Structure 1
Amino acid sequence: MKLQIEKLVYGGPGVAHLSEGTAAGEAVLVPFTLQGELIEASLLEQNKSNEASLLHVLDASGDRVQPRCVHFGECGGCHYQHADYPAQKKIKISILRETLERAGLKTLPEIQSHTADPWGYRNRMRLRVKKVDSTLRVGYNRRGTNEFLPIQECPITAPLLWRAAQSVLQAAVEDSMIQRWIDNVSDIELFTSGDETKLQMSLFVLKQQQPGLASFCERMKQLVPELVGAGSSLIKPPGPQRQIQKPYPLESWGASGLSYHAAGEDYWVSRGGFFQVNRFLVDELVEIVATNRQGTLAWDLFAGVGLFSRALAKKFAQVVAVEVAGSDLVNSFKGPGKRAVEATAVEFLRHTAVQRDRPQLIVMDPPRAGVGAEVCSLLARVSAPELVYVSCDPVTLGRDLKMLVDAGYRVEQLHSVDLFPQTFHLETVVVLRR
């Protein structure tokens, strides 16, 4: 069937409406399309969401380009490589505004866009390891499936990460003992400092095995001198109700983390710990959140390793950093005017909402689920003059902003910080004031 793509929506696909038959008027989602294109597509069988597969582009958009990666379309990681980068920025800003307006936020400021190099930006990658025709390969999942896709490149990751992945395969080929050890590895996660001078490696194994990590890492160190530490963990298949089991730590080698320099500070990131993934935009993200803000007291909820807390501590007399997995934070964020609290945001707010201390600023950077109704209610009770909300999901962001606006806040600034070029993912910074 022929379809005219009307717009792109969150998640990556373009939207068209059927013009003929009993289903006329129904929306159809077609990945890898662009606004205004005339395409030929085929509805997928047994698909409740009316998703179609793109067969041919009959009238291409002027924004369409040749994808840089040979795996684009097969791999589930990227969604927009068929659009030039200026078009990607416009797509994301349009989707962000429409999503927030749909949540009931009608009076919004102009969205400010912040970008950097759209290639080689990722400081972390996680790869599956599997034999294909008796040859060890690394790869991702094929789009929309759990099927293994062996890859030969990943241009959105830092070059050091791909070099390290290739070195794993080289080490296995050169040494039969290493190969036997690697045969038990299911996944490898690689994390690099922003300047690519240090590398951490996490290996996830399917069963406990004989020691062998040290000899493997010593060979890897010869191939990749940037390697500073590694660890192996036992990973189990999903349990009842398909629950993912937490990996069980086994052997380790070298340092337990690495020092990541960003925004004029050094942050200790433990192996497997969270840090912002775009190595080119971390400094700008910190500047948007923390620059030109000062006062007596600030709270940083969902603080992670203290990325924003450190910057805030330069301008506020006291900063309280709150993180549920806060062992690294407790050890590193201390000294005059600095306090780390290992707790969930809701636990912290339940306790502090009845206290007399009132911050001038609250920063929050929650996971995709957002902060939720109870946190929004508690924030309204605390009634800080200024909130800064860092979001990686526009849908939950819209839901939470609507509750905060209904509680008396107004949206003063909207920033689109493109931490995930070539993908549909959106990072947004919102400044709210009473």
Structure 2
Amino acid sequence: MKLRIDKAIYGGNGLARMTEGEQAGKAVFVPFVLPGEVVEAHVRASKKGFAEAALLSVPEPSQDRIEARCKHFTFCGGCQYQHATYDAQLAMKRGILEETMQRAGVRDLPTIQVHAAEPWGYRNRIRLRVEANRIGYNRRASHAFLPVEECPIAAPLLWQAVQALTELPLEGVAEVEFFTDAHESKLQLTVLAEKHLSQKRLTRLCEMLQQRIPQLAGASVVQADPRQRGHRGQPDESVEGHVAAHWGEASLPYLASGQTYRVQAGGFFQVNRFLIDTMVRIVTANHSGERAWDLYAGAGLFTAALMKNFAQVTAVEIGEASFRELAALTTPPHRAMRATTAEFLKRGKLEAPDLIVVDPPRAGLGTEVVERLIAISVPRIVSVSCDPATFSRDAAGLLQSGYTLAELHLVDMFPQTFHLETVAVFTR
């Protein structure tokens, strides 16, 4: 059928409406399209409220349509927007954020401030699957293995390391993760093994890889759960797990916003090497006082900046690897606590801080945490989110309790993909 694309929706698809027959008006989701385009598509799945279609051709393309840079685009599940100019990508994400907020009942939005940087080679971390000494990601919309020959969103050093690794014996390796600092001066390797990978084998593998990639500074083996294999398979966040063997440096030093962080295997750290300093500035600038809480603190990216402007910072993190980094970063009177945010907020008689920073996972804060934040009645909350739907839900709860949305930022941490990061400042 021929369709006109109305708008971009979260998840990477475009939305169109059927125009003929009994299903006229039914929503159709089409991938790899742009608003305003007329396309030919084939419906491959029809459900009660919508249909999913495969793109066949674009007889009337948008002026924002360009050739994708990566040969694996449309086959790989990692990117959704390589067919769009970067300005068009930002416009689509801004529209999606606005509409998602409005659908959650959030009106009178402040001006959305958009922050962007170089849209290629930005990732400081990638994680790939290994099969028969081939390295790849997941195929789009599946867990099937896709061998890949390039990844232009990865920092160049990461892909050089991938190419070098394919020349080495990888028996027993299920997945590999490479992590580099912002300037690509050091490289960290994490190996997820299906079975025991001995210290001797790890040492031999790393020595051979270091001959090809001198920046390799350290490596760790994490025992993989076979049930989890391939459930990521994209250049995604890091993984927690039991470290079975080490080689070289146990952590990678990462300089960001004037602070050196020690990022261990399995520890979380923001992935866009060009926008980390911007993110820290947006979250922490113009905030000061006696006490601050950094919840879902990770390795302490925001904690370090907050410690410069607050007399006491309490940083809360549950992940084992991230907490080790966080504990090393904080010194009295500042403190790190290993707990979930919900567990921390349940503790009785907490003295309310002047500021709370929250950076939850994709699932968002949830009703329980939002209610406890409301009960504390802190004057300022800065929320960092990587999912507009869960962020909008949480924001609606805060606004209904009397908070005001003072600032809203869209930080494009994931160019070429549908993912978008928001930073919001709520005040009472």
Shared fold (TM-score, shorter chain, > 0.5):
yes
Please say if residues 122 and 279 of structure 1, whose CA atoms lie closer than 8 Å, have aligned partners that are also in contact. Answer: yes
Q: 1:120-142: per-residue Cα shift (whole Å, max 9, x none)?
A: 000000111123xxxx3211111
Alignment-derived partner of residue 153 in structure 2? 156
Alignment-derived partner of residue 391 in structure 1? 385
1:235 paired to 2:224: yes
Q: Post-superposition shift, 1:333? A: 2.8
Q: 1:73-97: per-residue Cα shift (whole Å, max 9, x none)?
A: 0000000000000110110000001
Secondary structure of 1:44 counterpart: strand
Q: 1:281-319: per-residue Cα shift (whole Å, max 9, x none)?
A: 000000001111111111111111111111011111111
Which letter does structure 2 place at the counterpart of 1:392? Answer: C
Q: Post-superposition shift, 1:329? A: 4.0
CA distance in 1 between counterparts of 2:241 and 2:398 reads 37
Q: Post-superposition shift, 1:183? A: 2.2
Q: Post-superposition shift, 1:59? A: 0.2
- TM-score under structure 1 length normalisation: 0.93
Please say if residues 330 and 342 of structure 1, whose CA atoms lie closer than 8 Å, have aligned partners that are also in contact. Answer: no
CA distance in 2 between counterparts of 1:74 and 1:411 reads 39
Please say if residues 129 and 174 of structure 2, whose CA atoms lie closer than 8 Å, have aligned partners that are also in contact. Answer: yes
CA distance in 1 between counterparts of 2:381 and 2:98 reads 20
2:324 aligns with one of 319, 322, 328 = 328
Which letter does structure 1 place at the counterpart of 2:73? Answer: F
Secondary structure of 2:161 counterpart: helix
Alignment-derived partner of residue 56 in structure 1? 57
1:349 paired to 2:345: yes
1:24 paired to 2:24: yes
Alignment-derived partner of residue 234 in structure 2? none
Alignment-derived partner of residue 176 in structure 1? none
Please say if residues 392 and 425 of structure 1, whose CA atoms lie closer than 8 Å, have aligned partners that are also in contact. Answer: yes
Q: Post-superposition shift, 1:344? A: 1.1
CA distance in 1 between counterparts of 2:291 and 2:241 reads 38
CA distance in 1 between counterparts of 2:47 and 2:27 reads 13
Alignment-derived partner of residue 219 in structure 1? 208
Q: Post-superposition shift, 1:191? A: 0.6
Listed as ranges, the gaps of 5+ residues in structure 1 are 173-178
Secondary structure of 2:396 counterpart: helix
Alignment-derived partner of residue 175 in structure 1? none
- TM-score under structure 2 length normalisation: 0.94
Please say if residues 34 and 65 of structure 2, whose CA atoms lie closer than 8 Å, have aligned partners that are also in contact. Answer: yes
Which letter does structure 1 place at the counterpart of 2:187? Answer: L
2:175 aligns with one of 181, 187, 194 = 187
Alignment-derived partner of residue 271 in structure 1? 265
393-402 vs 211-220, which deviates more? 211-220
38-47 vs 12-21, which deviates more? 38-47
Q: Post-superposition shift, 1:115? A: 0.3
Q: 1:133-188: per-residue Cα shift (whole Å, max 9, x none)?
A: xxx32111111112211111100000010000111112x2xxxxxx2xx1221211
CA distance in 2 between counterparts of 1:303 and 1:246 reads 15
CA distance in 1 between counterparts of 2:240 and 2:327 reads 24
Alignment-derived partner of residue 247 in structure 2? 253
CA distance in 1 between counterparts of 2:211 and 2:123 reads 24
1:310 aligns with one of 304, 309, 317 = 304
Please say if residues 269 and 328 of structure 1, whose CA atoms lie closer than 8 Å, have aligned partners that are also in contact. Answer: no
Secondary structure of 2:302 counterpart: helix
1:83 paired to 2:79: no
Go from structure 1 to structure 2 and tell me whether the alpha carbon gap of 1:313 and 1:249 turns closer, same or farther (over 3 Å shift). Answer: closer
Give the number of equivalent residue pairs. 415
Secondary structure of 2:51 counterpart: coil
CA distance in 2 between counterparts of 1:335 and 1:209 reads 36
Q: 1:13-32: per-residue Cα shift (whole Å, max 9, x none)?
A: 00001011111110000000
Secondary structure of 1:221 counterpart: helix
Q: 1:388-417: per-residue Cα shift (whole Å, max 9, x none)?
A: 000000000011001101111010000000
Alignment-derived partner of residue 43 in structure 2? 43
Q: 1:365-402: per-residue Cα shift (whole Å, max 9, x none)?
A: 00001111111111111111111000000000011001
Which letter does structure 1 place at the counterpart of 2:98? Answer: R
Identity %: 50
